[in-house]
Structure 1
Amino acid sequence: MTESVWLRNDRPRRGAPPLTRERIVAEAVALLDEEGAGRLTMRRLAERLDTGSTTLYWHVETKDDVLELALDAVFGDVPIPGRAPGARADWRADVVALTSGWRRAMLDHPWSASVLGGRPLLGPNVLARTDFLYAALAATGVTGPRLAGAAYAIANYVIGSALMQIGVQDDGEPATRKAAEHLVRNRDLYPALAEHGHLRGGEWDTAFTQGLDYLLDGLTSRP
């Protein structure tokens, strides 16, 4: 695993060309949204920025740097729940709002969920939202390893639900319909799946909310 771009001190760039990190990240997110992570290369990004690869390397050293920065930009699209001054804190509403926003951001940027694993998430947007999640869960009285375990379970649930929905949407409606028909034809072998095992269109949001409720119910039910 390469060192996180966030742990590296910016070296002085004497004579660095007039290209900002913000512009690089915005163009990288646009490229990733249009073509996916598999098509991201430093050369292609430099071409979109109308500059040379050497110029790009003044600002980011590797493709992993670009992905880290782009991921943090996506997290910046996730609203941090707020409340009116004096309003009573509601940890559950905060967790639901934060995770729902995170899932929506990943669905809006389908590449993001697939590149989260195996890389440090140390950008300021990621850390601010993760800290908010931990603080919300701590309001239940859970601490230490149990708190980390709860946050880990919730994060994996959000990522997994987004990946599953993105995969189904990429296959398209015909593939989804054929899968459902296959289960119905084999009802004798897979009766529970034939009855309950597939989601349609607008059911994804409801299923996500219900699954999150089950997780949060479990968190508060344990002594």
Structure 2
Amino acid sequence: MSGNGSDNRDIRAAGEQHYSNSVWFRPPEEPARRTRKGAPPLSRDLLAEAAVKLLDREGAARFSMRALAAELGVSPMSAYWYVENKDQLIELALDRVFGEVEVPAAEDGPGPGWRHRATSLALGLRASMLRHPWAAPLYGSHLSIGPSAISVNASMTEIFASAGLDGTDLQMALGTVIQYVFGTALSESQWHQKFQQGEDENEFYRGILDGLAKSGKWPESVPVPPPDFDIRAHRDGMFAFGLGTILDGLEARAANASGPAATERPDRTSA
């Protein structure tokens, strides 16, 4: 028994050490320091802004502390006053992306309704991920617990609470929508990067369709897209359809939970 207890303490300690490495657990940042002549003082905010610009231009694979320092005209050691490593810079950059999302105000009386606000927030989050195609792939491997990320999550939680969800259902609703947004954004952002060199995405897609049709491999039961088919508009429509379907389910679940049958369901989490 004592061995298991020691093992558990070691596991907890390792977890605490891992999460304490987050930039958001660092002490308050050092006083702003000067960069090259005429440039604004170096700060955590300036690092985050520069990191986003560099990631947008070069991608995650070429991102480094040294590259960021060169971008700002400072020595690589200067950045270490504010962050310990590249991962902490990425955390700052990710929260900057979350900060681009317009968070709808909480309703205090009649308003556009929870579905409208949930849709607006999800669309805004997807748009921010697509503007920065490096963000969605990195979201799954870096903590997103900065102030902007927390603000987005708190807003979505408030929206679903106003729909009548609570407890585990409220947590699951938040996770379902957030993961849907990031899952689709991950796929889309990877696809978009394929066409950054100027190739027309619609022409590429139509070429694939033509090849399938001529080979006889296109399923007869599936309608052939028209010649003016727009793949990006199609993806927008698919996202809206999927999000609407999720919200339909959450709306029905909230209605069932508040109705007479709610007391007859001892375990709502298994549904």
Q: TM-score range by the shorter chain?
A: 0.7 to 0.9
Distance 2:212 2:98 in 1: 37
Distance 1:135 1:15 in 2: 36
Compute the displacement of 1:195 (Å). 5.2
Distance 1:96 1:120 in 2: 24
Compute the displacement of 1:90 (Å). 1.2
Paired position in structure 2 for 1:111:
134
**Higher RCO, Cα 8 Å, sep 6+:** 1
Tell me, yes or no, if the aligned pair for 2:32 and 2:42 is still in contact at 8 Å: no
2:240 equivalent among 206, 209, 212 = 209
CA shift digits 1:40-91 (9 cap, x unpaired)? 1000000111010111111111101100001111111100113787543611
- What is the TM-score of this pair, normalised by structure 1? 0.87
Tell me, yes or no, if the aligned pair for 2:48 and 2:92 is still in contact at 8 Å: yes
Say which is worse superposed, 171-180 or 212-221, in terms of deviation: 171-180
Structure index of larger Rg: 2
Compute the displacement of 1:187 (Å). 5.6
Tell me, yes or no, if the aligned pair for 1:187 and 1:194 is still in contact at 8 Å: no
Following superposition of structure 1 onto structure 2, how do residues 78-97 of structure 1 map, counting pairs within 5 Å?
78-82=101-105, 86-88=109-111, 90-97=113-120
2:39 equivalent to 1:10 = no
2:182 equivalent to 1:159 = yes
Query: Partner amino acid for 1:32?
Result: L
2:251 equivalent to 1:220 = yes
Structure 1 alignment gaps of length 5 or more: none
1:144 equivalent among 154, 167, 186 = 167
Paired position in structure 2 for 1:37:
60
SS of the residue 2:231 aligns to: coil
Distance 1:103 1:146 in 2: 23
CA 1:15–1:145 in structure 2 vs 1: closer, same or farther (change >3 Å)? closer
In percent, how many aligned pairs have the same letter?
33
Query: Partner amino acid for 1:124?
Result: P
2:97 equivalent to 1:74 = yes
CA 1:141–1:86 in structure 2 vs 1: closer, same or farther (change >3 Å)? closer
Query: Partner amino acid for 1:107?
Result: L
Tell me, yes or no, if the aligned pair for 1:180 and 1:194 is still in contact at 8 Å: no
Paired position in structure 1 for 2:37:
none
Compute the displacement of 1:190 (Å). 4.8
Paired position in structure 1 for 2:205:
176
Distance 1:145 1:39 in 2: 41
Query: Partner amino acid for 2:52?
Result: V
Tell me, yes or no, if the aligned pair for 2:32 and 2:43 is still in contact at 8 Å: no
RMSD over aligned CA atoms reads 2.6
